[in-house]
Amino acid sequence: DSGVTQTPKHLITATGQRVTLRCSPRSGDLSVYWYQQSLDQGLQFLIHYYNGEERAKGNILERFSAQQFPDLHSELNLSSLELGDSALYFCASSVADGRRQFFGPGTRLTVL
Amino acid sequence: LAKTTQPISMDSYEGQEVNITCSHNNIATNDYITWYQQFPSQGPRFIIQGYKTKVTNEVASLFIPADRKSSTLSLPRVSLSDTAVYYCLVGDVGGYQKVTFGTGTKLQVIP
């Protein structure tokens, strides 16, 4: 158990819909990272937040957005969903320097 | 971040030592080298990290030559449970702000 929690574990929805994925980092970790992993693909970095502020963006679509709240949990919002958005979405957390990331169990999103 | 190159896949028999090499020719002075392991449908798990020479922990060793343009993850006496994808990352200690995992090396351990 990494100490990072993600909810829900599975999510099935339809095209055009909007969903919110939630992540709670390890106690004391200020950084939160979001990744997308499609079937048999590598991990694609989406976005990094540090103590509530956006630090870096990767290949994140405009239909996707994220935020980190004062209690340090983070949410990833995916809107106007397409079939190609079906993937595993991982959240990771780290202490400030990001040297070692601890990953959550992931949320499996299926868009039908 | 420095670009990394790893073999796409490797096979090994149980009980053998496995060495996975990662090339990172444009590694920067402040960059550390980190390896993660990922099982299917699970989040990656940190294995080991180093800056230069050799680092060893309870599960693996990491060898980094003087020029730091490559690194080798060594897994002693692998078992079937070591079948996984192994990722090499190179980045600044101060911020893995844009993280690139790459495609990783798929290790298959054969009985």
Q: Which of B41, B87, B97 sits opposite A55 (nearest CB)?
A: B97
Which pLDDT band, with edges at 50, 70 and 90, does B2 fall under?
A: low
Cα–Cα distances in angstroms (integers) from residue B40 to residues A14, A58, B83, B100, B106, in the given order? 25, 23, 10, 19, 11
Q: What is the pLDDT of residue B1?
A: 56
pLDDT at residue B81, rounded to an integer: 96
Cβ contact A98–B34 (<8 Å): no
Q: What are the structure tokens assigned to B2, written together?
A: 């420095």
Contact partners, residue B15, CB within 8 Å, separation at least 6:
B77, B78, B79
Residue A88: per-residue pLDDT: 96
Q: What is the pLDDT of residues A95-108, one digit of tens each?
A: 866 678 999 999 99
- Under 8 Å between Cβ of A32 and A89: no
* Chain B nearest C-alpha distance from A63 (Å): 20
Condensed to tens digits (0 to 9), the pLDDT of residues B61-110 reads 999 999 999 999 999 999 999 999 999 988 775 555 667 777 899 999 99
Q: Which of A97, A112, A99, A88 is nearest to A39 (CA)?
A: A88
